[in-house]
Amino acid sequence: MVPSRNLVGPLAVLVLLLWGASCTHGRRSDVRVITDENWRELLEGEWMIEFYAPWCPACQNLQPEWESFAEWGEDLEVKVAKVDVTEQPGLSGRFIITALPTIYHCKDGEFRRYQGPRTKKDFINFVSEKEWKSIEPVSSWFGPGSILMSSMSALFQLSMWIRTYHSYFTEDLGLPVWGSYTVFALATLLSGLFLGLCMIFVADCLCPSKRRRPQPCPSKKLIPESSQPLKRVEEEQEANEDVLEEEAKSKDGTNKDFPQNAVRQRSVGPSLAADKS
């Protein structure tokens, strides 16, 4: 029995340690996770957002301070969040994350980049004393909700998609590197042709070109009108021909009558002379 009593103390300590570790590990974090689907929640209220990567040593050192700062979020009336840029490349492009970790403060849609010390106390003072008012907010042109940053987000997502499929082609399917590049080159060519056709179609619909319309075929009613000059010429020619024929006939008639009169006169002439004698 004595050995069993000696083991009671160490066993109790071990149980307490295990219970404390389980409680600490199972405690819900006060840091909210922001993704491409719910990032518009940042546009309302006051936020502190950390952009990090799991492999970044500086980000790993910051995590305990950030978790402790999040516990004060309810008292400070600020929401503490984080973004994993390896899982959310669209947000890293939307906020132009060039260094890790990067911290932003947001107040009712206005974003400011935090560049002060990275301790819990400094974060608390930054929010409670409103030190963020001394920082110039990000221009609306470069805000996460602008068209420019939305395009950058799509570009970053496309680059991550290309990297993922390149790894799939080379590692899983066993294609050579040049084969993967060939697939992407063909895809780029086809997509460029498709987009070009779409742009031409849209431009043609918005700004139609002035094309020569085909002349309509003349109708039956227009045929007599168009042929009237020709008919007039023909009629004039026919009239002239008729006049010439009549003149010719009249000339022939006068020529024929002249000899007959002469013959008559000749025949009549001696008889008249005889009577007179």
Pairing of β 79-84 and β 32-33 = parallel
The residue type found at 122 is D
| CA nearest neighbour of 96 among 85, 108, 110, 107 | 85
Rounded CA-CA distance 130/126 in Å is 6
Q: Which residues of 122-152 are buried (b: 16+ CB within 10 A; e: fewer)?
A: ebbebbeeeebeebebbeeeebbeeeebeeb
Question: Which residues sit opposite 106 in a β-bridge?
Answer: 47, 111
Tokens describing residue 205? 């619909």
Task: Tell me how far apart the alpha carbons of residues 101 and 82 are, in angstroms, rounded to a whole number.
Answer: 10
Please indicate whether residue 217 is annotated as part of the active site.
no
Structure tokens at 179: 């084969």
Candidate list 59, 106, 198, 217, residue with the active-site label: 59
The two tokens of residue 238 are 């026919």
Catalytic residue at 59?
yes
CA distance 29 to 164: 30
Answer whether 89's CB lies under 8 Å from 156's CB.
yes
Choosing from 56, 106, 198, 207, the catalytic residue is 56
Q: What are the Cα distances from residue 190, in Å, to 23, 179, 183?
A: 56, 17, 11
**Would you please indicate which residues are annotated as catalytic (active-site) residues?**
56, 59
